[in-house]
Amino acid sequence: MGLMDLFKKKSSGDIAKDRLKLLLVSDRANCSPEIMEKIKNDIIQVISKYMEIDAEGLDIQITQTESEGNNGNVPALFANIPIKDMRHSGTSE
């Protein structure tokens, strides 16, 4: 092991923290399907006010995304919402 490796080496405490941060993102996303379901239903309600969406095809999940600060990675809620019809989308009259 060269001298540079010594400098690069992360302490095991930091490794533990980083591993946990990642792990808990997926744990938290998985451990409360009830809450995910509630979020999903609320999203459907709100979006449906403005356009017709495919409620069946809607998919939400919690993943990671790049961010400035906070060590680069933060949890993010991704929602994939197929639109059936742009009913009264706020187009100018």
Partner 1 sequence: MSEVIVITSGKGGVGKTTTTANVGTGLAQLDKKVVLIDTDIGLRNLDVVMGLENRIVYNLVDVVEGNCRMKQALIKDKRYPNLSLLPSAQTKDKSAVSPEQMVKVIDELRDEFDYILLDCPAGIEQGFKNAIAGADRALVVTTPEVSAIRDADRIIGLLTANEIARVDLIVNRLRMDMVKRGDMMNIGDVTDILAINLIGAVPDDEQIVISTNQGEPLVGTDCKAGIAYANICHRVLGEDVPFLNLEEKDGMWNKLKGMFKKN
Indicate whether 21 belongs to the interface with partner 1 (CB under 8 A).
yes
Choose among 32, 85, 27: nearest CA to 55. Answer: 85
Report the C-alpha gap between 45 and 38 in whole angstroms.
11
Indicate whether 86 belongs to the interface with partner 1 (CB under 8 A).
no
Figure out which of the listed residues 3, 5, 13, 33 binds partner 1, where binding follows CB under 8 A.
Answer: 13
**Residues binding partner 1: what is the number (CB under 8 A)?**
17
Nearer to partner 1, 19 or 87 (CB): 19
CB 57 within 8 A of CB 44: no
SS3 88: coil
Residues near partner 1 (CB under 8 A) are 11-14, 16-17, 19-21, 23-24, 27-28, 31-32, 34-35
